[in-house]
Amino acid sequence: MINLGTFENPETGKIERDMAAARNIIQILVMLEQKTRGNLEAEEQRLIQSLIYDLKLAYVEANKGKQ
């Protein structure tokens, strides 16, 4: 969420956006969800899917504000 400019960077104290880094993190989480599919408890699966959904939505919203 820091990369999306939602929170300030604790190191700099500034609101910063790094959309490429945010996209990479989302892609890593999608890969993790795919690789662990079938090996997680139902609640864990829902949690990672919800996290990915929320991050994708935040990414789209942050990209809209950039245009």
pLDDT in tens, 2-49: 777 788 878 888 888 889 999 999 999 999 999 999 999 999 999 999
DSSP line for the chain = -TTEEEEE-TTT-SEEE-HHHHHHHHHHHHHHHHHHTTSS-HHHHHHHHHHHHHHHHHHHHHHHHH-
- Average pLDDT (50-61) is 94
